[in-house]
Structures are given as structure tokens and as C-alpha cells.
């Protein structure tokens, strides 16, 4: 088992309700900067936690599921816009 895969399994098995941006980036396989960009586009909306003068993004398991689906669609050749629309459409269908 590769070290990255083991790190991801450790994160998942920790039972965390919310994940930091670095943990989320590792789970999804993208950079923190890419997550920030996707957030700016409205693909996900992490919660923000204030600790002193610092504000931290926290991603839910639902956010991670959306991000993993986006990543999968990108790997299949979808554009980011098309992937986001497809994920948004499937979320609305399940409501």
C-alpha cells in the first residue's frame, strides 16, 4: 500500500465530521489552490471556523463526495463547467 493511500485511509478512519483543506486535498487528489478555486466557483461551500485571528475552511463528507465526483468526471474528459453542471443536476434529482 502506498504511503498516500495509507494517509487517506487514516483520515477516513479517524471519523472526522469535517476535514481541513489539506486533508481534503489529499483525499481528493488535488491541490489546496484547486479546492479554493472550485469553492470560488460555487462547486462546494465549506464551513469556516474562526480560531483567534485565523479562519479555517472545513469540508464535510458531502463536500468530499462532490469533489471526488468532479475529479472523476474531469478524469473522464469533462470540462470543469460540464462536470459541475452534471453533479449539480444529479444532486437536484436526488432531492
Give me the pLDDT at residue 5, please: 57
Give me the pLDDT at residue 95, please: 41
Give me the pLDDT at residue 16, please: 66
- pLDDT means per 10 residues in the chain (95 residues)? 55 71 95 96 93 93 96 97 91 54
User: Considering only CA atoms, which of 44, 49, 43 is closest in space to residue 20?
Assistant: 49
Three cell numbers, residue 50: 474562526
Residues 60, 18: contact at Cβ < 8 Å? yes
CATH class of 3-90: mainly alpha
Give me the pLDDT at residue 17, please: 86
Give me the pLDDT at residue 19, please: 94
Domain ranges of the chain: 3-90
pTM to 2 decimals? 0.76
Give me the pLDDT at residue 92, please: 57
- Residue owning grid cell 489552490: 33
Amino acid at each position: 500500500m502506498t504511503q498516500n493511500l495509507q494517509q487517506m485511509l487514516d483520515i477516513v478512519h479517524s471519523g472526522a465530521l469535517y476535514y481541513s483543506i489539506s486533508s481534503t486535498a489529499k483525499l481528493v487528489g488535488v491541490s489546496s489552490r484547486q479546492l479554493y478555486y472550485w469553492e470560488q466557483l460555487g462547486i462546494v461551500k465549506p464551513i469556516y471556523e474562526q480560531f483567534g485571528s485565523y479562519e479555517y475552511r472545513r469540508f464535510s463528507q458531502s463536500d468530499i463526495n462532490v469533489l471526488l465526483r468532479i475529479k472523476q468526471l474531469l478524469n473522464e474528459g469533462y470540462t470543469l463547467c460540464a462536470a459541475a453542471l452534471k453533479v449539480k443536476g444529479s444532486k437536484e434529482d436526488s432531492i
